[in-house]
A and B are shown apart, each in its own frame.
Chain A
């Protein structure tokens, strides 16, 4: 299996791991968003969805384990790449002007990544690893988003995720070699759409809950 570690350990291999795990997270975000939007349909719809999800039992646990494994790969590889990239230019430029490539999204990937990590830990403590008591998950979320600070925090976090996804999505296509001048405009458009869906889909839900409940 030497060839496998050699291929994965190379610069291109590390980016392949970033791309595959990142795309998996985007898939997770899509499913998560679709589920969360059921909150607009009301208490019964959302709680029903949550129950069915829990009833998956071992399958759900398998998905969780997979996500945690992917997260470890994505985070550790991302940090390693970040440090290696910094080391590759020991002396910084006195003047550093963009030639027109880099964007806010692309330049902040390691930082938005770390902020996402912090947010995810907080989010899990907030809604998953918490004593729900007699309350349903819907009531828990509704109560949480009755507090304006929580609404603002979640909205801000979603802007951070959107920035990461906006660059990450098309970047992943390029990293796996799937991008091509013919498809690039479409992939770029999808990248913006994915970022926009994250920002507006996830980002507006807390406001909806604050106003509605």
Chain B
């Protein structure tokens, strides 16, 4: 059974970086509840195009919850109301006929709006460039078990590595802090033997890059882990703090 609903979108429109921007109200008619949120926006954009108006700009790529491109605020919630779900994986059956949806871009000084719902997340790239890597030649695959990793640590590293860099944690944080993202990127390497040699330098460099980007500070509100589509835990933030404090106060790194 194909059920359809009608919605009213109160959506942020902004021409470019310098435009002040404003909310525009536009209907989303005959939306199949089997559609994803992004497909709903596609339908609205087709109508806007046919009407000769500018379609709504939003980011997307994989549409299967793995690339981290998509994401907007929907009624004040990053990626919409469903836990552990990116916007592209959110289906319209979670909304009711007649609902009004307020759709806004991520709001953070470090993520300036480029157009409509698209924000510039190059601040994340600068943090990764500062130390989110391992400086070894990869070469061919090594002999298995040359570097034994206990399964619990492998699991934790994998959980941290699930971060897709979408920016929802920053968007949801009352302080626009990037700590959950940075903690995931620091943890995925700090937990594995390949990441240990550079752990101190990495923690210092990535936290400094994060601070330089103009993100807020962590107040431990825990909004981030509740908004994260990959349900990255704030246990990673505690690990980031340990790694940074070790690097800053005990290690020989400066």
Q: CB within 8 Å of B: which residues of A?
A: 2-4, 6-7, 10-16, 81, 84-85, 87-103, 106-107, 109, 167, 170-171, 174-181, 184
Q: Given A10-B208, A95-B75, A101-B226, are A3 and B216 also a contact pair (CB < 8 Å)?
A: no
Q: Is B215 positioned at the interface, with any CB of A under 8 Å from its CB?
A: yes
Q: Is the CB of B248 within 8 A of A175?
A: no
Q: In chain B between 213 and 254, which residues have their CB closer than 8 angstroms to a CB of chain A?
A: 214-227, 233-235, 237-245, 248-249, 254
The reply to whether B211 and A94 contact each other, CB–CB distance below 8 Å, is no
Indicate if the CB atoms of B77 and A97 lie closer than 8 Å. yes
A191 CB to nearest chain B CB (Å) = 11
Other-chain residue from A96, A101, A174, A176 in contact with B76 (beta carbon distance below 8 A): A96
By CB atoms of chain B within 10 A, which of A11, A170, A180 has the most? A11
Contact (Cβ within 8 A) B102 A95? yes
List 28 interface pairs A-B (beta carbons < 8 Å), by A numbering. Answer: A10-B244, A12-B241, A12-B244, A12-B248, A13-B248, A15-B218, A81-B219, A85-B175, A87-B216, A88-B108, A88-B175, A89-B108, A90-B109, A94-B102, A98-B223, A99-B77, A99-B78, A99-B227, A100-B226, A103-B221, A174-B220, A174-B234, A174-B237, A175-B241, A177-B240, A177-B241, A178-B238, A180-B238
Interface contact A107-B73, CB-CB below 8 Å = no
Report the tally of A-B residue pairs with Cβ distances under 8 A. 149
In the complex, how many residues of chain B place their beta carbon closer than 8 angstroms to a beta carbon of chain A? 53
**A10, A15, A89: most-surrounded residue (chain B CB, <10 A):** A89
Contacts of B254 on A, CB cut-off 8 Å?
Answer: 2-3, 6
Q: A178 vs B241: C-alpha distance in the bound complex, in angstroms?
A: 9
Complex Cα–Cα for A102 and B174 (A) = 9
Return the chain B residue nearest A102 by Cβ: B221
Collect the chain B residues with CB atoms within 8 Å of residue A101's CB: 172, 221-227
CA distance A6 to B172 in the complex (A): 28
A95: shortest Cβ distance to chain B, in Å? 4
Residue of B nearest to A7 (CB): B248
Residues of B within 8 A of A100 (CB): 222-223, 226
| B171 nearest in chain A by CB position | A93
In the complex, chain B residues whose CB is within 8 Å of the CB of A170: 220
Judged by a CB distance under 8 angstroms, whether B191 is at the interface is no
Within the complex, what minimum Cβ distance (angstroms) separates B6 from chain A? Answer: 20
List chain A residues, Cβ under 8 A from B215. Answer: 11, 88
Q: A89-B216, A106-B220 are in contact. Are A16 and B238 (CB under 8 A)?
A: no
Known contacts A85-B175, A88-B216, A106-B221; decide if A95 and B238 are in contact (CB<8 Å).
no
- B60: interface (CB < 8 Å): no
Which residues of A are found within 8 Å of B83, using beta-carbon distances?
Answer: 99
Which of B220, B239, B242, B248 has the most chain A CB atoms inside 10 A of its CB? B220
Contact residues in B for A7 (Cβ distance below 8 Å): 244-245, 248-249
Q: Which residues of A contact B218 (CB under 8 A)?
A: 11, 15, 175
Contact between A10 and B222, CB atoms less than 8 A apart: no
